[in-house]
Amino acid sequence: MKYLILDGCPRKGNTWKVTEAAIEQIKEQYPDSEFEELNIYDQDLPFCTGCSNCFRIGHEKCPHYGIIGNIIEKMERADGVIVCSTTYNWRETSVLKNLFDHFCFMLHRPHLFRGKALVITTTGGTGAGKSAKSIASTLLGIGLNRCYRLSIAAISWNAYVPGARELRKISKKTSRFAKDVRSRKLHAPSLLSLIPYNIMRGMGQNYAPGSEYPTADGVFWTDAARKGYAYFPEVRLSLVKRAFGQMFYTIGKTLGGQKSLLVTYKK
């Protein structure tokens, strides 16, 4: 299995120690695992300029596509993605947030449905759970199939040494993640994940080519390959979940089609 590590930390400190322990666990469990690390700081990714090209005319038109396109391609190729971040002000680092700002078009057009993620965060005392939750919500929103969260209170600025209890926690969570990656199983989404997916699918119908404000979202959602499905067609859904998704599709399509709610742009 191929693992991509997206390191959102500015230095190899406490968070990296936990990440290394997680990598060791996976190597021990599955020696044929391959790892590639991408340090987000080193990418020199400029801030998102808010041009909205990605939403309107396609993410290939992002002024920073050279960097973003490369990261997304690596995520597409990976079986498992490990995202690590220290906690600043109870959230992920700004560099990771900046990357996620560039990923926002995938909240509109999710596609990374085969991927599974392990989110690793550390904090001095409090907030690691909040930063992990924030990262996980983006990863699930852009389509990833499952997201495991590992949060550690290091109680140290720069000299963290995981104790026996924490090593057990790291090993248990990482092992579940690696086993799931290995299984290649595509889990059914939660009801909560079906809401944004289907609202977007519904709204997208109002932005098809030939409409007043055509967008890349409109092209994506009116494509026959996904228009009629309450979730990625490759992922099996129960009848109840299909009906649930369909309800939010109808809400998105109807409300999104109201003149007052139509998202405009300068032509």
Q: Are 38 and 71 in contact (CB under 8 A)?
A: yes
Give how far Cα 143 sits from Cα of 6, 58, 245, Å.
17, 18, 15
List of residues contacting ligand FMN (CB under 6 A): 9, 11, 13-16, 86-90, 122-127, 154, 157-158
- Any bridge partners for residue 88, and if so which? 91
CB of 133 to ligand FMN, least distance (A): 14
CB of 155 to ligand FMN, least distance (A): 8
CB of 154 to ligand FMN, least distance (A): 4
**Residue among 158 and 264 whose Cβ is closer to ligand FMN:** 158
**Residue among 49 and 89 whose Cβ is closer to ligand FMN:** 89
CB of 166 to ligand FMN, least distance (A): 12
CB of 173 to ligand FMN, least distance (A): 17
Nearest residue relative to ligand FMN (C-beta)? 13
**Residue among 44 and 157 whose Cβ is closer to ligand FMN:** 157
**Residue among 64 and 97 whose Cβ is closer to ligand FMN:** 97
**Residue among 14 and 25 whose Cβ is closer to ligand FMN:** 14
